[in-house]
Amino acid sequence: MITKNIFLTLLLCSFINYKTKAQTSIVSGNKSIEFSGIVAGFYNYRILKPGEDNFKNNKFALRNTIFCVNGRVENKWEYEFQVDFLNMSTSISDPENPGIVSAFIAYKALPVKIKFGYDKLPFSQGSLASIYETPYWSRTQLTRGDFFSRRDAGITLSSSLWKQRVNIYAGAYSGLGETVFVANGGDTDPSGSPEFIGRVDVAFPSRYRHDEIDYKLSPIPLIRIGANARYTDKTQPGDNSLPIGVEGIYGLKVINGKKAIYGFDASIAYQGFSAQMESQLLKLNPANSNDPLYHNTTEDVNKKTIYAGGWQGQINYFWKRTKSIFSARYENYNTNDLVSGDAQRFSAAYAYQINGFKNSIKIHYFKIVTEDENLEPLKWTDQIRVGWQYMF
């Protein structure tokens, strides 16, 4: 059934492109609508630790089959809907690849833009940047959606100042992230409490989008710094509990209690070179003294507070003449300060652009430098993904 839907979608897009004699757009008076999509997949190969003999992850895999509709009316209203047919059933298990990618309407005729619906949250440079415009096949562990949600339903207010050099965001959301449509039958959790998020970023000497690759070969150095914070209190009333599956693989994403995150990021770009740095600190206050996140420590030891988070850095180079992008990144993260150990990973990536990022071949190599043996024991040491993405 999914294959049939994908085929019909592609056929529809091809028909629209032919009839309108444009790539993906239909314009009628003061209204416009665009159709686009992404098909991406790779071959994954893992190097296992000695003694491991299960090679199930050495496989060909589709990453995305996305179809997108977005439109504008009188330059006042805009709307967008993106669905990934392949990942419709994995919205809980893989927050980086949800089934519903976005579904929102926005009014932008005021000094403050108002967006209502489901979309990326205004938080974290590594989350906001499009993965399809990088040579990587996945984000870092810190920003892929296990420490904090990357998407949610709610309202976002945003405004730009100083010729779009300064961008300010504030919003309120369900706090359930990518599980908002499926957890608890579509209702929120018993606490009914929202999550609040705020972000500001400043660029100099001109505006700087959330791009990681300097494919425009900036003639002057561009710098952007950003800071963001988010807070929610999901303390469950009475004997109620959180919906199943909302906590994430580390148990940090949604907790029974209070959670705050403070983050900082910086980016720079110049003549094809670019770099990003980001740090996020989680402060967790589980409501129950026997919460698994306390790992059986006493209140004298844990002080009713748990810290997690980490930092990451990335450098990139776009060699326009050869249509090539080279990148390397390092990440260091800790899922719980009450348990000794942290994790460190190194990645390198290369992309060959057949037609920009619309049609490109990407190679992504992972290396586990240090694993957290107590909290995240792994069965592999290295991994490589080689694949192809096509955007229509």
> pLDDT of 113-162, one tens digit each?
999 999 999 999 999 999 999 999 999 999 999 999 999 999 999 999 99
Q: Which residues sit opposite 266 in a β-bridge?
A: 225, 277
Half-sphere exposure of 54 (CA within 13 A, CB side): 5
Which helix (H) or strand (E) segment holds residue 3: the answer is: helix 2-20
Residue 169's pLDDT band, with cuts at 50, 70 and 90, is very high
Coil, strand, or helix at residue 237? coil
* Distances 310 to 10, 207, 297, 330 between C-alpha atoms, Å: 41, 27, 22, 11
pLDDT for 186: 86
Measure the N-to-C terminal CA separation of the chain; round to a whole number of Å: 22
Q: pLDDT tens across 322-350, in order? A: 999 999 999 999 999 999 999 999 999 99
Residue with tokens 């990451």: 312
Average pLDDT over residues 314-329: 98
Average pLDDT over residues 214-232: 97
- Asked whether residue 3 carries a pLDDT value surpassing 90, the answer given is no
Coil, strand, or helix at residue 186? helix
Contact predicate 362/136, CB 8 Å? yes
Half-sphere exposure of 307 (CA within 13 A, CB side): 10
Q: Which residues sit opposite 78 in a β-bridge?
A: 72, 106
Which helix (H) or strand (E) segment holds residue 49: the answer is: none
The amino acid at residue 276 is Q
Q: Which residues contact 315 (CB under 8 A, 6 or more apart)?
A: 273, 274, 275, 327, 328, 329
Ranges of beta strands (E only) in the chain are 25-28, 31-48, 59-73, 77-84, 100-107, 113-120, 151-161, 166-173, 195-204, 222-233, 257-270, 273-286, 306-319, 324-334, 343-355, 359-370, 380-391
Residue with tokens 């930092």: 311
Contact predicate 317/273, CB 8 Å? yes
Average pLDDT over residues 217-238: 98
Q: pLDDT tens across 75-126, in order? A: 999 999 999 998 886 545 688 889 999 999 999 999 999 999 999 999 999 9
Between CA 8 and CA 10 the distance in angstroms is 6
pLDDT for 391: 96
Q: What is the DSSP letter of 41?
A: E
Residue 231's pLDDT band, with cuts at 50, 70 and 90, is very high
- Greater model confidence, 3 or 348: 348
pLDDT for 88: 82
* Distances 249 to 54, 92, 94, 364 between C-alpha atoms, Å: 21, 10, 9, 23
Q: pLDDT tens across 33-62, in order? A: 999 999 999 999 999 999 999 999 999 999
Q: pLDDT tens across 242-290, in order? A: 999 999 999 999 999 999 999 999 999 999 999 999 999 999 999 999 9
Between CA 168 and CA 288 the distance in angstroms is 36
Q: pLDDT tens across 348-358, in order? A: 999 999 999 99
pLDDT for 89: 64
